Amino acid sequence: MPSISLTVNGEPVSAEADVRTSLLDLLRETLGMTGTKKGCDHGQCGACTVIVNGTRINSCLSLAVGHEGDTVTTVEGLAEGNGLSPLQKAFVTQDAFQCGYCTPGQLCSATALLNEIARGEPSVVTDERVRLSEEEIRERMSGNLCRCGAYNNIVDAILSVAGEPA
Ligand code: FES
Ligand code: FES
């Protein structure tokens, strides 16, 4: 089996994995990092979202062998020191989850979303300038499903971190 070396949440890791192993399974099964969730395993729910080299991806759709040398951030790496990130705190204060199964993916997606906005990257609903609006958030978070229907509170949490009225 090929050996893969990558950086996960700031730590260099190496692991052997079958060429058919997804990044999601490498994280969960090989590295024991179960924060990233498997929902559909088919690219439809976003529960498996992680950030690779600054870009969010569905880790269930990406082969681990393709990530040699990459930098991966999972939900376990979002906290700042011993404290939660501002976005994680906002999810708590805005009650942005119920069962919590989708939450790791929502948090990784929302973290990347805020960076996309800061970089001025447009989406299909961007009008004249990129700004953090409810419409932008709902479009950019549309790949992350929540069976509990916490969508309104997730939008409020993201807006509150950006200093917008929630
Ligand atoms: S588990 Fe990857 S998109 Fe659903
Ligand atoms: S909080 Fe339960 S699926 Fe989103």
Ligand 2 atom at minimal distance to the Cα of residue 98: 1
Best of 48, 101, 154 for a ligand 2 pocket test (most atoms within 8 Å of beta carbon) = 101
Asked if residue 125 has pLDDT above 80, the reply is: yes
Domain membership flag for residue 166: no
Q: Which of 77, 98, 113 is the last residue of a domain?
A: 77
Domain membership flag for residue 43: yes
Residue 165 — pLDDT band, cuts 50, 70, 90? very low
User: Mean pLDDT, the chain, as a whole number?
Assistant: 95
Q: Are 65 and 17 in contact (CB under 8 A)?
A: yes
Report how far ligand 2's centroid is from the alpha carbon of 48 (Å): 13
Asked if residue 38 has pLDDT above 90, the reply is: yes
User: Tell me, what's the pLDDT at 128?
Assistant: 87
The whole-angstrom separation of Cα 32 and Cα 51 is 18
Nearest CA to ligand 1 atom 3: 43
Location of structure tokens 């709902």: 138
The number of folded domains in the chain is 2
pLDDT tens by residue, 65-93: 999 999 999 999 999 888 999 999 999 99
User: Tell me, what's the pLDDT at 80?
Assistant: 83
Asked if residue 163 has pLDDT above 80, the reply is: no
Same domain (yes/no): 66, 97: no
Same domain (yes/no): 108, 63: no
Same domain (yes/no): 69, 108: no
Q: Which of 77, 102, 131 is the last residue of a domain?
A: 77
Beta-bridged to residue 58, according to DSSP, are 49
pTM: 0.95
Domain membership flag for residue 138: yes
CB 147 near ligand 1, within 6 Å: no
CB 107 near ligand 2, within 6 Å: no
Q: Which of 56, 77, 98 is the last residue of a domain?
A: 77
CATH of the domain at 70: 3.10.20.30
